[in-house]
Amino acid sequence: AQSVTQLDSQVPVFEEAPVELRCNYSSSVSVYLFWYVQYPNQGLQLLLKYLSGSTLVKGINGFEAEFNKSQTSFHLRKPSVHISDTAEYFCAVRNTGFQKLVFGTGTRLLVSP
């Protein structure tokens, strides 16, 4: 069965510093990949998605992610974070032909001044 690993449960970072949130998935077959953000007591908002084509995907709020098929990774990056980026970030994967997403356990990004 497909699984998603987010190794870092919490990532503290100072404002304006770069950040990378790591995501690895288990399956080597064709997949679709997603990053979602969740602010406290809210639903999940789609940040970006990889379906096919260019391995570097740009999303909202200045985030980007790179799909690496050989390493089965889809790490999320931002060159300069803001206080408002403090939130929980979830990586998700969907096998082609399936209707379900499999989520990682999430990474809490804590941005301090």
Q: Rank residues 26 and 105 by Cβ distance to another protein and give the closer one.
A: 105
Q: Rank residues 73 and 103 by Cβ distance to another protein and give the closer one.
A: 103
**Minimum CB distance to another protein, residue 6 (Å):** 8
**Minimum CB distance to another protein, residue 95 (Å):** 11
**Residues lying near another protein in the complex (CB under 8 A):** 32, 34, 36, 41-46, 49, 51, 90, 94, 99-101, 103-106
Residue type, 55: T
Q: 59 — phi, psi (to 5°)?
A: -125, -160
**Minimum CB distance to another protein, residue 54 (Å):** 16
Strands (E), 1-113: 4-5, 10-14, 19-21, 24-25, 31-38, 44-50, 56-58, 64-68, 73-78, 87-95, 102-103, 107-112
**Minimum CB distance to another protein, residue 10 (Å):** 10
Q: Rank residues 43 and 113 by Cβ distance to another protein and give the closer one.
A: 43
Q: Rank residues 26 and 80 by Cβ distance to another protein and give the closer one.
A: 26
What are the tokens at 8? 């870092």
Is residue 35 a contact partner of residue 47, using CB atoms and an 8 Å limit? yes
